[in-house]
């Protein structure tokens, strides 16, 4: 209960001050914020579909954006495997890099 109250926004602490049961507090907070998963999921799926390797200047920018989207999808209980990450990256290579894409595929990487 102390842990939950410690991490609640100060404005909300007074709203839930009278609740003594940790399970009840958790359920009320879950009821209040559960709908946000649908919003986050919708945006993350859209970002995932629009993600293109060629749109970034560096690999690290692409990876940062990719893992941000993946963490949002994981939070919404969407499973993104290493294989899915690799296939997504291969599919988003620019047309001029088809040879490089084929070389990566033939190498048979199993981990992103």
Say which residue, 80 or 111, is predicted with more confidence. Answer: 80
Structural domain of residue 43, as residue ranges? Answer: 37-107
Residues 7 and 47 occupy one common structural domain: no
Residue 44 pLDDT grade (very low, low, confident, very high; cuts 50, 70, 90):
very high
* Burial of residue 108 (number of CB atoms within 10 Å: 0-12, 13-18, 19+): exposed
Residues 13 and 60 occupy one common structural domain: no
Residues 47 and 98 occupy one common structural domain: yes
Residues 28 and 41 occupy one common structural domain: no
pLDDT of 108 over the 80 cut: no
Average pLDDT over residues 25-50: 92
Instruction: Count structural domains, the chain.
Output: 2
Could you tell me if residue 112 is inside a domain? no
pLDDT digits (tens, 9 = 90+) for 70-79: 999 999 989 9
Residues 68 and 85 occupy one common structural domain: yes
Residues 17 and 60 occupy one common structural domain: no
Q: Which two tokens stand for residue 66?
A: 């990719």
Residues 46 and 98 occupy one common structural domain: yes
Residues 42 and 67 occupy one common structural domain: yes
Distance CA 82, CA 95 (A): 23
* DSSP-assigned letters across all residues of 2-70: HHHHHHS-HHHHTTTTT---HHHHHHHHHHHHTTHHHHHHHHHHHHHHH--GGG-SSHHHHHHHHHHHH
Residues 70 and 100 occupy one common structural domain: yes
20, 1 contact by CB (below 8 A): yes
Residues 47 and 99 occupy one common structural domain: yes
Residues 28 and 13 occupy one common structural domain: yes
pLDDT of 90 over the 90 cut: no
Task: Please enumerate in sequence order all residues whose Cβ is within 8 A of that of 58, keeping only pairs 6 or more positions apart, or say none.
Answer: none
Note the pTM of the prediction, 2 decimals: 0.68
Could you tell me if residue 94 is inside a domain? yes
Neighbouring CB atoms inside 10 A of 89's CB total 20
Say which residue, 86 or 2, is predicted with more confidence. Answer: 86
pLDDT of 46 over the 90 cut: yes
Say which residue, 111 or 50, is predicted with more confidence. Answer: 50
């Amino acid at each position: 209960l102390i842990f939950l109250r410690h991490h609640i926004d100060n404005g909300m602490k007074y709203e839930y001050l009278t609740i003594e049961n940790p399970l009840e507090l958790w359920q009320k907070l879950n009821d209040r914020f559960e709908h946000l998963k649908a919003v986050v999921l919708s945006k993350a799926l859209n970002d995932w579909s629009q993600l293109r390797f060629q749109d970034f200047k560096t690999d690290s920018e692409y990876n940062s954006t990719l893992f941000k989207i993946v963490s949002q999808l994981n939070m919404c209980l969407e499973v993104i495997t290493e294989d899915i990450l690799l296939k997504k990256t291969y599919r988003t290579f620019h047309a001029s890099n088809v040879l490089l894409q084929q070389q990566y595929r033939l190498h048979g990487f199993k981990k992103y």
